[in-house]
Amino acid sequence: MISDPLIWGLGLGPGDPELITLKALRILQGADVIVYPQPNDGDSLVRAIAAPYLPGGQAEIPIRAPMSTDPAPAQKAYDKAAVEIGELAGQGKKLAILCEGDPLFYGSFMYLLDRLAVDWPIGVVPGVSSLGASAAGLHMPLASRNEVVSVIPAPLEAGEIKRRIQGCDLAAIIKVGRHLDKVLGVLEELNLTGGARYIERASMVDQKILSMDELVGAKAPYFSIILVPNHD
């Protein structure tokens, strides 16, 4: 292998630590420093996925990027982390940036990639996404043959969600969370409730599958997905 990058983005998969890849595991265990997002109030989910495999003795850089409609504070956190990562790479340290699911599928890794790729070669290890884990948990095909799959974030406006569902054969509505009622309303309007399936925390120890009936009046966490077939 010709001069492996010092900085890697590692997809650690959707939550079950056994869904890590051999490649991510090798690079994770060989790193001098691990970098991961951490909420201000609580533990880092992705660090928990990595925990069973950490050899001990690694330096750790948690990134606390505030969740807010104003992007400036988060941008500042990534700026600061990128400087720190660059300095360590300059000292020859090997760094692993840990990512839930796949690094480039709705993750914050891209903000670090943007900043670091100017000066450094970066390696990226793809990971199992929550989409695949949801399909596996529900035993529900995402697509076959020439079908079109669309991934639609639930925070979008109802009209927007409706229009996007109508343009595909299967919609995966992600990040349902507090948008549950809005999404259920859209599915009802489109007469698609019958075939839709819900799963939360796919592949994690507290994975839960609820029927559409059970969902009415229920609360969904951020890590929740509704798969909606829209076949004629």
Closer residue to its own copies (CB): 44 or 129: 129
54-83 residues in contact with its own copies (CB under 8 A) are none
Whose Cβ is closer to its own copies: residue 32's or residue 147's?
A: 147
Q: Does the protein bind its own copies through residue 203 (CB under 8 A)? A: yes
Residues 6+ apart with CB under 8 A from 142: 131, 132, 135, 149, 170, 172, 227
Quick one: which segment of 35-43, 156-164, 193-201, 214-222 binds its own copies (CB under 8 A)?
156-164
Tokens of 201: 């925390």
> Least CB distance from residue 206 to its own copies, whole Å?
17
> Over the range 192-219, which residues count as b (16 or more CB within 10 Å of their CB) and which as e?
bbeebbbbbbbbbeebbebebeebeeee
Q: CA–CA separation, 179 vs 19, rounded Å?
A: 28
Local structure of 26: helix, strand or coil: helix
Which one of the spans 55-63, 136-144, 188-196, 210-218 is the region binding its own copies (CB under 8 A)? Answer: 136-144
Asked whether the beta carbons of 126 and 19 are under 8 A apart, the reply is no
Show contacts with its own copies in window 12-51 (CB under 8 A). 13-14, 16-23, 25-26
Nearer to its own copies by Cβ, of 37 and 107: the residue is 107
Helix crossing, 180-189 with 158-166: angle to 10°? Answer: 50
Binding positions for its own copies, rule: CB under 8 A:
11, 13-14, 16-23, 25-26, 102-107, 110, 113, 117, 122, 124-129, 131-133, 135-137, 139-153, 155-156, 163-164, 167-168, 203
